[in-house]
Amino acid sequence: MNVAVLGATGSIGASTLDVVARHPGRYRVFALTANASADALLELCRTHRPRYAVLSDASSASEKAFASVGTELLKGHAAIDEVVAHADCHAVMAGIVGAAGLSSTLAAARAGKRVLLANKEALVMAGPLVMRVAREAGAMLLPVDSEHNAVFQCFSQTRLVRKIVLTASGGPFRAAPLESLAAVTPEQACAHPNWVMGRKISVDSATMMNKGLEVIEARWLFDVDPGRIEVLIHAQSIVHSLVEYIDGSMIAQLSNPDMRVPIAHALAHPERIDSGAQPLDLVSIKTLSFEKPDPSRFPCLRLAYAALDAGGTVAAVLNAANEVAVAAFLERRLAFTGIARVIEQTMARVPARAADDLEAILAADTDARRAAGAQVLALAA
């Protein structure tokens, strides 16, 4: 199976390449993409020898350097869409973070590929559109988020399911005094207690917006009403999600917090392969705890449910405002507690539209980014 890894220089890309390298007779790296990390991408090409490498921003990249390892360098966002639709590409790891990954995810789905969906924002922004395109093209969408992959492994028929329970670690501030949150630094927010993730996703975990986006993603992936999707804090990150059935039974998926587990499952489904992750030692774990999220501590979770309830382009507005607010926080232009305020104010200011096509969704994204930028400036004044 030829695999394209989008966002190859990130943590999801590293985990995917590790799993692929463990099964050289089964998988081959077809293409690797990155945004602007030309040197890091070249090093990966030296190791994995893909046919194509794509840099979204390739102003200083040397095509000769890539050619020397047998890889053709392509440039620009459109090249990513072309690579994932290539006839010789069989599976696509959609690991580009944020709204930037929507186009390539849609291109892979439209081409009928096996899409390993690590980019939750594609379904947050355009869930009905992505699901319709995938259904019409015969694409297979396989969730890679640990929570959604866990649900996928436990899920049976929708009519038999009472609810889905998504678990959350609670991030680094689960028990911090509320009055201390305004002074949180980017370094503190990015120090996740259980997972190794990029900076943006780490902040989303700290605010629990990450879980809010996952609620929206789960609604479209599993065709379940939002009222049947519950979030619980599970600090150990061992139970990755649960499915409760109408007969009162509940099925859970457990593993150590290692992204190679869901990646290996999505690559090999319906089979199982070695992921390289350490198996659980239940005796040493001893206790698994669960608690409800505190809405005063995690207002972003409430905003995500509100966006899903509003429908149309509101979820795209939520996502865009969050990306702008998190970037401002990481650049020290916005307080940690200002992230939720920017999102809520942006949702109130950008009109909701029908999300019938990609143009409407992208227009809402643009409007929301402009409005959120203004809100950041207002809060900083």
Query: If pLDDT is split at 50, 70 and 90, which confidence band does 36 have?
Result: confident
At residue 65, the pLDDT reads 87
Residue 135 banded pLDDT, cuts 50, 70, 90: very high
Please, what is the end-to-end C-alpha distance for the chain in angstroms?
54
Tell me the pLDDT tens digit for each residue of 86-97.
999 999 999 998
- Rounded (10°) CA dihedral 294, 297, 300, 301: -10
Nearest-10 crossing angle of helices 11-21, 260-268: 60
Q: List Cα–Cα distances, 127 to 84, 153, 212, 360, in angstroms.
A: 19, 21, 14, 13
> What is the overall mean pLDDT for the chain?
93
Give residue 194's pLDDT: 66
Q: For the domain with range 148-253+280-380, which CATH number is right: 1.20.1050.140, 3.30.2080.10, 1.10.1740.10, 3.20.19.10?
A: 1.10.1740.10
2-143 has which fold? Rossmann fold (3.40.50)
Percentage of the chain beyond pLDDT 90 is: 84
- pLDDT of 234-280, one tens digit each? 999 999 999 999 999 999 999 999 999 999 999 999 999 999 999 99
Band (pLDDT 50/70/90 cuts) for residue 175 is confident
Q: Coil, helix or strand for 308?
A: helix
Residues 67, 73: contact at Cβ < 8 Å?
A: yes
Max Cα-Cα span within the chain: 62
Q: What are phi and psi of 317, to 5 degrees?
A: -65, -45
User: SS3 helix, strand, coil % of the chain, rounded to 5?
Assistant: 50, 15, 35
The two structure tokens encoding residue 243? 């499915």
- Res 196: pLDDT: 67
Q: Given this model, what pLDDT does residue 41 score?
A: 93
Q: Which residues are within 8 A (CB) of 246 and not within 5 positions of it... i.e. 6 or more apart?
A: 160, 161, 162
On whether the CB atoms of residues 65 and 58 are closer than 8 A, the answer is no
Does residue 199 carry a pLDDT above 90? no
Q: Give the span between the Cα atoms of 269 and 271, in whole angstroms.
A: 5
Domain parsing of the chain, residue ranges: 2-143, 148-253+280-380
Contact of 52 with 26, CB cutoff 8 Å: no
Strand boundaries in the chain, DSSP class E: 2-6, 28-34, 52-55, 72-75, 91-94, 114-117, 140-143, 161-168, 229-233, 239-245, 250-254
Query: What are the CA-CA distances from residue 303 to residues 197, 215, 276 (Å)?
Result: 23, 11, 37
Q: Calculate ∠ Cα 307-310-314, nearest 5°.
A: 55
Burial call 27-57: b when 16+ CB within 10 Å, e when fewer: bbbbbbbbbebbeebbebbeebebbbbbbbe
pLDDT score of 195 more than 80: no
Q: How far is CA 337 from CA 82, 111, 193, 209, in A?
A: 40, 41, 20, 12
* pLDDT value of residue 58: 66
What is the tens place of the pLDDT at every residue in 60-74? 677 888 999 999 999
Asked if 119 and 125 count as a contact pair (C-beta separation under 8 A), the reply is no
pLDDT tens per residue, range 287-309: 999 999 999 999 999 999 999 99
**Length, in residues, of the chain:** 381
Q: How confident is the model at residue 99 (pLDDT cuts 50, 70, 90)?
A: confident
Q: What is the pLDDT of residues 351-378, one digit of tens each?
A: 999 988 899 999 999 999 999 999 999 9
Report how far residue 358's alpha carbon sits from residue 105's, in angstroms, rounded to the nearest whole number.
12
Q: Is the pLDDT of residue 225 over 90?
A: yes
